[in-house]
Structure 1
Amino acid sequence: MPTIFAIEVGDQLLLGTVTTVDGRVMDQAYWNQRNTLVQVWATWCPFCKKQNVHLDQLVKKIPPHSLNVLTLSIDKQESLVVNYMNKNNYDFPVAMMTPQLSQAIGKRRGVPELYILDKRGIVIQKDYGLMIDLDFFELSKYAQK
């Protein structure tokens, strides 16, 4: 039987060069500067909608450039994601899931799924499903002063 891979705490996730839906380009050197929060989500997911509110609040709460943030949408159409971001006035970075990133992350248990990576790309925390607001805001401990 083939082994099903799913990235776990202690594994390395190198994001490489990522282009967001609004055209921002971030390369591996960018990710190596500080810890990174990666969230996998979808516009149609009710739990993601709730968690994105928390993510937006967290991004506004922490000092600028203290934590990299990248969200990866698994939606099929980029236009749905752009409309969702505009409708909700979110400005956290969102890119479309690519086959390469999907393979690197492996099997997901559902959405939202969240990873915290250290500067080397090592997964230091993994959560899936809706995180309660207090647990989500606790992620600010990974922001570097």
Structure 2
Amino acid sequence: MPLVAVPLLDGGRFDPRQAEGRALIVYWWASWCPFCAQQSPEMQKLWASQRARGLQMLTLSIDKQPEDALAYLKQRGYSFPAAWMSPEVARAYPKPDGLPVTVVRGKDGRVAQAEKGQLFAEDVAELARWL
């Protein structure tokens, strides 16, 4: 799974070098998606509890406007790294069918796990096994 640098909604930048030799979770979501609304708090818990252990995460909002995604993140207090799916980002990280979609890129750079649809709390917590 090739990676490219992308701008983050908080003004930062996702740098692919961050994920070299580490597990990376890529999570496609939208502010209007009811299933994402159930999974995103669990993704935040995973990020908060595992980032110190080396977890890398890149979440990709498919909202029509970046402002919608940013407002959603701020309103809910989410701090996981989030980018907006601009046309350029969409070319680099094409969204698979379905929503939400969660992909784990293993330490070796290959897709280790791919899930379409909502993951429940225990499923999200289990993603830490890839660290």
TM-score between both structures, scaled by the size of structure 2: 0.90
The one-letter amino acid paired with 1:119 is K
Given the alignment of the two structures, is residue 22 of structure 1 paired with residue 7 of structure 2, yes or no? no
Structure 1 counterpart of 2:85, from 97, 112, 133: 97
Given the alignment of the two structures, is residue 50 of structure 1 paired with residue 38 of structure 2, yes or no? yes
| Pairs aligned (count) | 131
Partner of 1:119: 107
From the CA coordinates, give the structure whose radius of gyration is larger. Answer: 1
SS of the aligned residue for 2:83 comes to strand
- Taking the aligned partners of 1:48 and 1:42, their CA distance within structure 2 comes to 7
- Is the contact made by 1:43 and 1:81 (CA closer than 8 Å) also made in structure 2? yes
The one-letter amino acid paired with 2:110 is I
Given the alignment of the two structures, is residue 34 of structure 1 paired with residue 34 of structure 2, yes or no? no
The one-letter amino acid paired with 1:95 is A
The alignment yields a C-alpha RMSD, in angstroms, of 1.7
Percentage of matched positions with identical amino acids = 34
- Is the contact made by 2:35 and 2:117 (CA closer than 8 Å) also made in structure 1? yes
Given the alignment of the two structures, is residue 61 of structure 1 paired with residue 52 of structure 2, yes or no? no
- Taking the aligned partners of 1:142 and 1:101, their CA distance within structure 2 comes to 25
SS of the aligned residue for 1:62 comes to helix
SS of the aligned residue for 1:64 comes to helix
The one-letter amino acid paired with 1:28 is P
The structure richer in helix per residue is 2
Structure 2 residues without counterparts, runs of 5 or longer:
none
Structure 1 residues without counterparts, runs of 5 or longer:
1-12
- Is the contact made by 2:24 and 2:105 (CA closer than 8 Å) also made in structure 1? yes
Task: Give the Å deviation of 1:90.
Answer: 0.6
- Taking the aligned partners of 1:95 and 1:50, their CA distance within structure 2 comes to 19
Partner of 1:133: 121
Partner of 1:81: 69
Task: Give the Å deviation of 1:120.
Answer: 4.2
TM-score between both structures, scaled by the size of structure 1: 0.82
